[in-house]
Structure 1
Amino acid sequence: MGLEILEIRMWAEERFSLKISNKEAREISTVGEFAQYISANSKPAFHPHSDYEAVYDMLVDLLVSKYNIPRESIVETSLLYADLGLG
């Protein structure tokens, strides 16, 4: 797992108060899968904006602002490693 992916994982764990195991992290390969994992495993009572659409938008915003990935190149099926170059 590359540094960028580890940083994104830590962002999700802190932002949504969840723990992502190494095994679960290895099974996530697309932006959409990652957003789905977060929305399915976060605690809505503490994070009212944890529905899929909100999580997906926050994840895209993070990828654009922190990793300079053009917004238009990010779609739900974008592979984190191969398509977005995160490693």
Structure 2
Amino acid sequence: MTFDNNSIGTVVIDFNYRDKKWGHDLMREAIAGIKSNFGKDKITIGAQLYLKKFYESHGFVQTSEMYLEDDIPHIEMQRG
């Protein structure tokens, strides 16, 4: 089985623990998991617009205009 459209779903850290930066740990592990399990570097995500810099810090770049999902501004981003 081949996967050409690798994606990471919603990454959520409880507000009370966001100062621990665990979201970065989760992203690093998710990216590494896709690489080790599927041998792929290209990952596409639908990111909330306000988290653009967070995802950019993990190598993602914006690939779409803003769109609304559940009335929340989102953008598509890709890595690899």
Same fold? TM cut 0.5: no
Give the structure with higher Rg (CA). 2
**Comparing both structures, which one devotes a greater share of its residues to strand?**
2
Higher RCO (CA < 8 A, seq sep 6+): 1
Normalising to structure 2: TM-score of the pair?
Answer: 0.34
Q: Which structure carries more helix by proportion?
A: 1
